[in-house]
Amino acid sequence: MIFPLPRPQYVAVPEALTTALAWRELIAPLPGDPSDAHGGERTPAVLFRKGDRKDSKTLTYLESDPSSNEARLRLLASALDENGVVSEEHQDLLARSLMSSLAGVRAEKGSSQAAVPITPALALMQDMRGLQGAKNPPDVGLILERMFALDCSTSNIGPTVAGLWHSAVKHRLSLDPLASAIDSSVAKGVHNDRVEVRDKVDTVLPEWWHGRLPDTPFAWFRETWLRLTDDAWVEALPARVWVDWASTVLRLALGLGYLWEAAWYATVARHVLRGEAATFDEVRGAVPSSLPWKSTQADMSLRDLAAPVGWRVRRSQQLRSLLSAWIDENGAASEDFASTILSMSRDEDLSLALEEALGSRVRANENLWEAVKYALKTRDTSGPYADHYGLLRSRGRYLWVDPGTEWTAVVASLCCGKPDTTVDLAAVLRALGQLGLHPELADVVALLERAGLARGSADADQGVVVQSAF
């Protein structure tokens, strides 16, 4: 009844999700001279570019971009030269230009940046302490692994999100001499040739988890990530595009996964209040759309999600706490799901508390809502570091569904089994449904036409043919 998902926090930039996976697979030393990690009791935190980020009481920030340090820049320039990446101009200028070209989306309301994680060495140019600005940030890598595993069989031994990512980027390096040279150069010039593979951890989910979650964001994540990390898609997509598509899939899994979880707890609570002995699968099937997608023709006040979805997420934390506490206090962790629902419904105190929580307007911990909102929201909309892969847009107090062309291309194309193939519109609608999105047919067709992916007439309904973008 209580999903084994750690509580998240706002993730500063999309690249952080891939970086979290990289650090589950790999390990690298601190950038620069170890003496840079000064600060007494403060913990080192790594950023590609720290901008105006100042050291805190608990953290001292280290910058992995060597551009501002002549000695470190020369090391990178020399490594590039050794790997055959040579400039007609000064080699230091080449190294500086390379670093500039690899700067990712800028953190909102800040000047710090992550490196675009095209290769393993580049993904390690920042760590989660630096990106999150916290000494002990939530384990985003573990969260993604658990979301991926929630719809698998009872065995936890198998492909992992991080393992599939690592295999995919290594395959990319075998195909792309320039990317391989850059990776080797950064590994030597920035990481002192000490990038190592971590010992593997096979168990992701706790032993008590035996659920399956088809037709949910977790099932979509598993199916889509396995597809994107397959050799066919790695070979078909340009390196930078593959990274952006991977970040998009991870953002959707994180944001919509937690939205579905929030809707789950509300659905469980309502079954308890009705005293229905529903099974796990029956409750799962009753979970409503996690993110209402109103027609583009509707008034903005009806399309706005900030209040309705925001309050659903906040209330879910209270519901989760109440349900979890009751299970612990009554030793019901090993009880049958339907029996537990009935037992809960007989507890008047719990029923009153659940009913109050379902209508609550208490702003307690905002971390979950911030994590969901910023995973799905388009960050900067213009400029060299614009975000083209968001699902939501905001203006003032309004927040609404408004995916861009690039987002549409990712979701629709990954419905295709292989690159350069087609599916019908029904397959795209099925994928959106798994994600908890149920837009009007005309709006989906308009998005596909804008992205240049629709083939056939708009009045063909679900028979419209959808062509993959690559």
pLDDT over threshold 90, residue 75: yes
> What does the pLDDT look like over 143-171, one tens digit per residue?
999 999 998 765 556 789 999 999 999 99
Q: Is the dihedral of CA 334, 336, 341, 345 positive or negative?
A: negative
pLDDT over threshold 70, residue 33: no
* pLDDT value of residue 382: 57
> What does the pLDDT look like over 396-408, one tens digit per residue?
889 999 998 999 9
> What does the pLDDT look like over 175-193, one tens digit per residue?
999 999 999 999 999 999 9
3-class secondary structure, 350: helix
pLDDT over threshold 80, residue 40: no
Determine the Cα–Cα distance for residues 17 and 38; give it in Å rounded to an integer: 27
Region 415-429: mean pLDDT is: 95
Q: Which residue has the tokens 């994928």?
A: 431
63 touches 70 (CB < 8 A): no
Determine the Cα–Cα distance for residues 177 and 183; give it in Å rounded to an integer: 10
Read off φ and ψ for residue 245, nearest 5 degrees: -65, -40
Record the pTM: 0.94
* pLDDT value of residue 154: 55
The distance from CA 387 to its chain's CA centroid, rounded to whole angstroms, is 14
Region 113-132: mean pLDDT is: 95
Read off φ and ψ for residue 196, nearest 5 degrees: -125, 155
pLDDT over threshold 90, residue 365: no
Determine the Cα–Cα distance for residues 104 and 98; give it in Å rounded to an integer: 13
Question: For residue 264, what are the contacts with CB-CB under 8 A and spacing of at least 6?
Answer: 3, 283, 284, 287
Give me the percent of the chain exceeding a pLDDT of 90.
79
> What does the pLDDT look like over 452-466, one tens digit per residue?
999 876 555 677 999
Determine the Cα–Cα distance for residues 22 and 328; give it in Å rounded to an integer: 35
95 touches 77 (CB < 8 A): yes
* pLDDT value of residue 207: 80
User: What angle do the packed helices 306-329 and 337-345 form, to 10 degrees?
Assistant: 100
Question: For residue 355, what are the contacts with CB-CB under 8 A and spacing of at least 6?
Answer: 273
Range with the poorest average pLDDT among 151-160, 194-203, 319-328, 353-362: 151-160
More confident residue, 205 or 411: 411
**Predicted confidence band of residue 36 (pLDDT cuts 50, 70, 90):** very low
Range with the poorest average pLDDT among 33-42, 74-83, 371-380: 33-42
pLDDT over threshold 90, residue 202: no
* pLDDT value of residue 89: 84
Determine the Cα–Cα distance for residues 344 and 330; give it in Å rounded to an integer: 10
The one-character DSSP state at 156 is -
Structure tokens at 384: 């060299």
Average pLDDT for the chain: 91
Determine the Cα–Cα distance for residues 453 and 447; give it in Å rounded to an integer: 9
pLDDT over threshold 80, residue 383: no
Q: Which of 269, 285, 264, 284 is nearest to 340 (CA)?
A: 269
102 touches 114 (CB < 8 A): no
Range with the poorest average pLDDT among 4-13, 16-25, 50-59, 200-209: 200-209
Question: For residue 145, what are the contacts with CB-CB under 8 A and spacing of at least 6?
Answer: 24, 160, 161, 162, 204
Determine the Cα–Cα distance for residues 131 and 105; give it in Å rounded to an integer: 12
* pLDDT value of residue 381: 59
Region 293-300: mean pLDDT is: 91
> What does the pLDDT look like over 82-115, one tens digit per residue?
999 999 889 999 999 999 999 887 766 677 899 9
Range with the poorest average pLDDT among 89-98, 254-263, 378-387, 436-445: 378-387
